[in-house]
């Protein structure tokens, strides 16, 4: 399985890795719900609602469990040393889920994960 970062759900790549099983964090679902409720226009809101409806049919949503919480503590402590303001981010929580499951995380913003890429496999989507 590959965990998709929220930004990949918003702008999917033109093709997925062969045979990939995709999942995403329940935290990304929360971020998408926030995006719907904070849409600048009704048209944007409708588009976001539609996109989420499609993902809800296709996606396995991974819950944030006790193992992810343990991984988060480890990863956030590493990040805090060099980028304290980022240690408590949702990105690190999503990465913790990938870390706890031993699976890769696909993102459009690999810079968000550069301080932990030695312990979490980060797959970058160009564009």
For 4-30, write each residue's pLDDT tens digit: 999 999 999 999 988 889 999 999 999
Model confidence, pTM: 0.93
Model pLDDT, residue 53: 96
pLDDT value, residue 90: 97
Q: Widest CA span of the chain, in angstroms?
A: 42
Contacts 24+ apart (CB under 8 A), 50-57: 51/9, 51/10, 55/9, 55/24
Domain 2-124 class in CATH = alpha beta
- pLDDT tens digit sequence for 85-123: 999 999 999 999 999 999 999 999 999 999 999 999 999
The H or E element spanning position 122 is strand 122-124
Distance CA 72, CA 26 (A): 15
């Amino acid at each position: 399985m590959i965990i998709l970062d929220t930004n990949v759900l918003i702008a999917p790549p033109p093709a997925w890795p062969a045979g990939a099983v995709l999942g995403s964090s329940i935290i990304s679902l929360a971020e998408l719900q926030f995006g719907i409720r904070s849409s600048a226009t009704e048209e944007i809101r409708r588009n976001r609602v539609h996109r989420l409806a499609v993902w809800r049919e296709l996606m396995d949503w991974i819950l944030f469990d006790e193992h992810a919480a343990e991984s988060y503590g480890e990863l956030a402590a590493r990040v805090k040393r060099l980028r304290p303001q980022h240690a408590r981010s949702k990105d690190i929580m999503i990465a913790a889920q990938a870390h706890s499951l031993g699976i890769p995380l696909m993102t459009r913003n690999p810079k968000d994960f550069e301080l932990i890429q030695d312990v979490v496999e980060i797959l970058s989507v160009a564009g």
